[in-house]
Amino acid sequence: MKKLILIALLCFNVQAKPIASMGNNGGGKIVLLDDVCVKDGKKYDSWFRAYTYHQTGVTQDGCWMVEHDTVVMIWDSGTKMRYPAINFTIIDAGKKQNL
């Protein structure tokens, strides 16, 4: 029975997948996920989850969307940033291309 529960959990475990990334000034990356953004219990259908990390291990979560040729990011700290979409590399099963 325990094996059956474990198999069911693994089969139905939906995890956000990284779809694009770019380097940041802290020696880490900004990673864009395919999961819809939820903030304080509210779902934002046109925004998606993201995170960033630095070489020191500092990390931050946020939400992103594409507007014209830029990726608009609102970090959980409240900081709003815009990054050129061309700076991101799409992550596609080992193949990389610009966003």
pLDDT in tens, 44-72: 889 999 999 999 999 999 999 999 999 99
Identify the pLDDT of residue 80: 96
Identify the pLDDT of residue 12: 43
The residue extents of the domains of the chain are 16-98
Triad 77, 34, 79: Cα angle to 5°: 15
Mean pLDDT by 10 residues, the chain (99 residues): 40 71 95 93 91 94 95 95 96 62
The DSSP secondary structure of 7-30, one letter per residue, reads HHHHHH-----EEEEEE-TTSSEE
Q: Whole-angstrom Cα distance, residue 16 to residue 14?
A: 7
Identify the pLDDT of residue 78: 92
